[in-house]
Amino acid sequence: MTIDPDTRTMRERMLAGDLYLADDPELAEHMLRAADLMAAFNTTPARESGERRRLLTELLGEVGEGTDIRPPLRVDYGSHIRIGARSFANFGLVALDVAPITIGDDVQIGTNVQLLTPTHPVDPDLRRAKWEAAEPITIGDNVWLGSGAIVLAGVTIGENTVVGAGAVVTRDLPANVVAVGNPARVVRTIGQVTEFDQATD
């Protein structure tokens, strides 16, 4: 019988980005806490903005001043999400924070955007045994994620960058670019004058 020499808890493995088992009781309790707060946030009436803000602050790791997230919001743990000041997320944000998700200041997030930190092994035996892992996502200041954009595990998006609606971001994007498509590719640098820009001046 082989004994696993790794004495870390599953939560410690998860936060280190290593393989872990998600059905661990400690992790399950963290997820239940998040589910309760998420349900309360998602059903709080719009006119009760103070209560919405209180629930959001309790659910997430950090919420900057002036930031607004419209329900429904879906998270795994919530506590691994940090979002800066004056940012806005429209309806239907899915932010699966098995690893940390860091969102900067003045970020605009369209409807039904997905930020997905979890990964699963390609090896079929490991996957069948329910091992999984995660990699962090970082969204820089003043980024705009168009509706339906998907950002995959391990991705960093530089400040001021615009990601087109429906794009799938599979690798890092630099600052000050526009990226579209699946997989997302840079189509221009912000600041370059295009025919469309000239026509709308």
Q: Considering the candidates 11, 53, 120, 185, report the single residue annotated as catalytic.
A: 120
- 120 is annotated as an active-site residue: yes
Can you say how many angstroms the Cα of residue 167 is from the centroid of all Cα atoms in its chain?
15
Tokens of 66: 């002036």
CA distances 175 to 48, 158, 178, 188, Å, are 37, 4, 9, 11
Q: Measured between alpha carbons, how far is 131 from 118 in angstroms, rounded to an integer? A: 11
Gap between the Cα atoms of 74 and 198, Å rounded: 40
CB 57 within 8 Å of CB 49: no
Q: Looking up tokens 């998270």, which residue turns up? A: 75
Tell me the DSSP string of 161-185.
-EE-TT-EE-S-B-SSEEEETTTTE
- Taking a C-beta distance cutoff of 8 angstroms, is the pair 138, 22 a contact? no
Residues present in the chain in total: 201
**Whether residue 118 has a cis bond before it, omega within 30° of 0:** no
Cite the active site residues: 120
